[in-house]
């Protein structure tokens, strides 16, 4: 990256170079770059894990691995993808773009910002170290409970559970620090004249995200701490013999786990309307309605958690409450969908790579949302629960709604970050390969789930063989087409056609008034917003 050369005030800086630059940086763009790079690397790591799983599922029977190892792979895949790929990507965008969008010189608390990032690699090491240790005969591998840590399975589990617990602690500290930084930056660093209701949607969505993180991440930390003391220090939080209850863990976990879905998705709902308006060349539809919807979803997210375990044996009034409140989320979400579609309605559209991803995202994330509505129905959920239908549903929300959203953001802002245009041809190829192979991977899984195939089991009945084979082949295409993405990013960082300041014809917002790439300190003089 070469943005230091274009900065106006860079002669004042005496910054370390090489590896020390990245270890010690307090600059929001450097830290944002590290978050995004980390996210990309962990995306490939988590993807490799699940390709091994899909390879095992190519045929019925056990071919490649033992069930214990299979369990470790699916659990660590989910933890890596959620905590180490999706969340850091959102935080990376926040670091890079929030100060640019609100006209700030940097994030409000730059040293904490650095710490927030540098907690992630240790957390990733803790999560994956047990795999390596097991090769040397220490312990029995990584956490094998799935990403949900359900007790009592996690109480019986081996040392991998302890590693995962501490990994979650570090990730939690990182998320809380990141949230503090985002909230403070948005509330205190906006340029004069930029009132809250003039903020870019991305800032609003991150404010809601940070609010959810602050409310829920510490609860997860508390839950896994209780798990740790149940495992090693004789407490009985999740043990009926002592008056506790394994279901208590599910409540605590999903009090965090459900808002987590929105934590991952909200930042994307923030920048997606910005992408849509850019390539529709007309202003965003329903700004105020979107802001209110974001907050409504944020608030509802905190009170619907038990729909993740409808089948656990709750009293009927509780089931009804959690069903209705869950379905209520679809109302503000429908408002958002309406606004996104209305934004492109009658616009003069052009289909550059970010816009392709954005439109594909609306469709695919829509499928994810609608299948979620099906799962929210208590009576229907008894059939779908713990089946491949659930797997397909949350991959439509988290891969299509999450990852493809992130990819849209990467393509949208990459020229601004690097100062070079990426290859449109490869970008479009990446989109079509991803969208098609994604659907071929997961549509069969809806049918598998409806037919009764349970998730998290390495073997299956013969009747499921064809759909699993299709799903596996498509998953490998999906995985390999991400290499195009990596290649496109790397070559864009190294060079390419020079990007203009505005980059995209219809782009609006403060970040497009700065040169591409922007100077080291974004706004040394704060711009005035009328």
Partner 1 sequence: MSSQSHNGNHYYVPNPVAYPVIMSAGLLTLATGFIFNINNFAAGKQMMMVGALVIIAMIFKWMGAVISECQNGLYKKWEDKSFRVGMIVFICSEVAFFAAFFGALFFMRVISIPELASYDPQFTMYKDFTDAWPSAGPGGVVLGKEYVAAKFSPMAAWGLPAINTFLLLTSGATVTWAHWGLMKNNRKQLVIGLFLTVALGIAFLLCQAAEYHEAYTEMGLTLGAGAYGASFFMLTGFHGFHVMLGTLMLIVILFRSMKGHFDADHHFGFEGVAWYWHFVDVVWLGLFVFVYWL
Choose which of 5, 229, 348, 463 interacts with partner 1 (CB under 8 A). Answer: 229
Choose which of 239, 377, 424, 508 interacts with partner 1 (CB under 8 A). Answer: 239
By CB under 8 A, tell whether 11 contacts partner 1: no
By CB under 8 A, tell whether 236 contacts partner 1: yes
Measure the CA–CA gap between 100 and 93, rounded to whole angstroms. Answer: 11
Choose which of 214, 299, 465, 470 interacts with partner 1 (CB under 8 A). Answer: 214
> What residues numbered 93-132 form the site for partner 1, per CB under 8 A?
104-106, 108-112, 114-115, 118-119, 121-122, 125-126, 129
- The phi, psi pair for 219, rounded to 5°, reads -70, -40
Nearer to partner 1, 39 or 274 (CB): 39
User: What is the pattern of x (binds partner 1, CB under 8 A) and - over residues 250-269?
Assistant: -xx--x--------------
- Contacts of 466 by beta carbon, 8 Å cutoff, 6+ apart: none
Choose which of 60, 139, 286, 366 interacts with partner 1 (CB under 8 A). Answer: 139
Binding segment (CB under 8 A) for partner 1, from list 70-78, 87-95, 227-235, 304-312: 227-235
By CB under 8 A, tell whether 287 contacts partner 1: no
**Token reading at 105:** 């010189």
Nearer to partner 1, 121 or 506 (CB): 121
By CB under 8 A, tell whether 248 contacts partner 1: yes
By CB under 8 A, tell whether 89 contacts partner 1: no
By CB under 8 A, tell whether 359 contacts partner 1: no
Q: Where are the alpha helices (DSSP H) in 80-200?
A: 87-102, 110-118, 120-135, 153-156, 159-188
- Minimum gap (Å) between residue 528 Cβ and partner 1: 12
Nearest Cα residue to 11 out of 478, 525, 520: 520
Nearest Cα residue to 294 out of 217, 211, 189, 382: 211
- Minimum gap (Å) between residue 210 Cβ and partner 1: 8
Nearer to partner 1, 488 or 522 (CB): 522
By CB under 8 A, tell whether 1 contacts partner 1: no
CB 486, CB 407: distance < 8 Å: no
Nearer to partner 1, 116 or 146 (CB): 116
By CB under 8 A, tell whether 216 contacts partner 1: yes
R_g of the chain, CA atoms, integer Å: 23
> What residues numbered 142-161 form the site for partner 1, per CB under 8 A?
152, 155-156, 159
SS3 of residue 387 by DSSP: strand
Measure the CA–CA gap between 375 and 234, rounded to whole angstroms. Answer: 37
DSSP assignment of 407-465: HHHHHHHHHHHHSB---HHHHHHHHHHHHHHHHHHHHHHHHHHHTTPBSS-S---GGGH
Nearer to partner 1, 15 or 502 (CB): 15
Nearest Cα residue to 268 out of 295, 296, 234, 294: 294
Nearer to partner 1, 215 or 421 (CB): 215
Binding segment (CB under 8 A) for partner 1, from list 50-58, 248-256, 267-275, 448-456: 248-256
> What residues numbered 20-49 form the site for partner 1, per CB under 8 A?
20-21, 23-27
Binding segment (CB under 8 A) for partner 1, from list 8-16, 54-62, 441-449, 503-511: 8-16
By CB under 8 A, tell whether 15 contacts partner 1: yes
245-248: long-range pairs with CB below 8 Å, 24+: 246/150, 246/151, 246/152, 247/309, 247/312, 247/313
By CB under 8 A, tell whether 237 contacts partner 1: yes
By CB under 8 A, tell whether 243 contacts partner 1: yes
Q: Where are the alpha helices (DSSP H) in 345-418?
A: 353-375, 378-384, 388-395, 404-418
SS3 of residue 295 by DSSP: helix
Binding segment (CB under 8 A) for partner 1, from list 184-192, 193-201, 445-453, 503-511: 184-192
- How many amino acids of this chain bind partner 1 (CB under 8 A)? 85
CB 516, CB 499: distance < 8 Å: yes
**Token reading at 192:** 């004069």
SS3 of residue 498 by DSSP: strand
């Amino acid at each position: 990256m070469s943005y230091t050369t274009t900065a106006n005030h860079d002669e004042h800086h005496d910054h370390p170079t090489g590896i020390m630059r990245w270890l010690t940086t307090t600059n929001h763009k450097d830290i944002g770059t590290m978050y995004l790079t980390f996210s990309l690397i962990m995306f490939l790591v988590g993807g490799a894990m699940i390709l091994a799983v899909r390879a095992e599922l190519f045929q019925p029977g056990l071919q490649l691995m033992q069930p214990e190892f299979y369990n470790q792979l699916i659990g660590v895949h989910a933890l890596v993808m959620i905590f180490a790929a999706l969340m850091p990507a959102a935080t990376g965008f926040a670091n890079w773009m929030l100060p640019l969008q609100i006209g700030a010189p940097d994030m409000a608390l730059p040293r904490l910002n650095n710490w927030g990032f540098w907690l992630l690699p240790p957390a990733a090491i803790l999560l994956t170290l047990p795999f390596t240790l097991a090769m040397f005969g220490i312990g029995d591998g990584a956490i094998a409970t799935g990403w949900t840590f359900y007790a009592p399975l996690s109480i019986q589990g081996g040392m991998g559970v302890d590693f995962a617990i501490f990994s979650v602690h570090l990730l939690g500290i990182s998320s809380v620090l990141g949230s503090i930084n985002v909230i403070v930056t948005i509330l205190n660093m906006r340029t004069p004249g930029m009132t809250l209701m003039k903020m870019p949607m991305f800032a609003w969505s991150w404010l809601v995200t940070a609010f959810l993180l602050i409310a829920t991440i510490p609860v997860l930390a508390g839950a896994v701490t209780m798990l740790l003391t149940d495992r090693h220090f004789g407490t009985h939080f999740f043990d009926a013999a002592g008056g506790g209850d394994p279901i208590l863990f599910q409540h605590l976990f999903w009090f965090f786990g459900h808002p987590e879905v929105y934590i991952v998705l909200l930042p994307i709902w923030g920048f997606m309307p910005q992408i849509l308006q850019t390539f529709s060349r007309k202003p965003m539809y329903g700004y105020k309605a979107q802001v209110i919807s974001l907050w409504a979803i944020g608030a509802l997210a905190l009170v619907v958690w038990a729909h993740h375990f409808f089948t656990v044996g709750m009293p009927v009034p509780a089931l009804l409450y959690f069903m209705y409140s869950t379905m209520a989320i679809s109302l503000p979400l429908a408002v958002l969908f309406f606004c996104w579609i209305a934004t492109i309605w009658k616009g003069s559209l052009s289909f550059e790579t970010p816009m392709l991803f954005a439109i594909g995202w609306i469709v695919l994330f829509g499928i994810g949302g609608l299948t979620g509505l099906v799962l929210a129905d208590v009576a229907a959920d008894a059939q779908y629960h713990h089946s491949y239908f659930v797997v397909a549903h949350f991959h439509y929300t988290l891969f299509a709604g999450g990852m493809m959203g992130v990819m849209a953001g990467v393509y949208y802002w990459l020229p601004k970050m690097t100062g070079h245009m990426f290859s449109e041809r490869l970008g479009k190829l990446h989109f079509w390969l991803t969208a098609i192979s994604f659907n071929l991977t997961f549509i069969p899984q809806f049918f598998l789930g409806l037919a009764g195939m349970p998730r998290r089991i390495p073997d299956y009945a013969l009747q499921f063989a064809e759909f699993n084979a299709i799903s596996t082949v498509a998953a490998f295409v999906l995985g390999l087409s991400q290499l195009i993405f990596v290649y496109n990013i790397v070559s864009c960082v190294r060079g390419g056609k020079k990007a203009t300041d505005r980059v995209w014809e219809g782009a609006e917002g403060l970040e497009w008034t700065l040169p591409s790439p922007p100077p080291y300190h974004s706004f040394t003089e704060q711009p005035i917003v009328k």
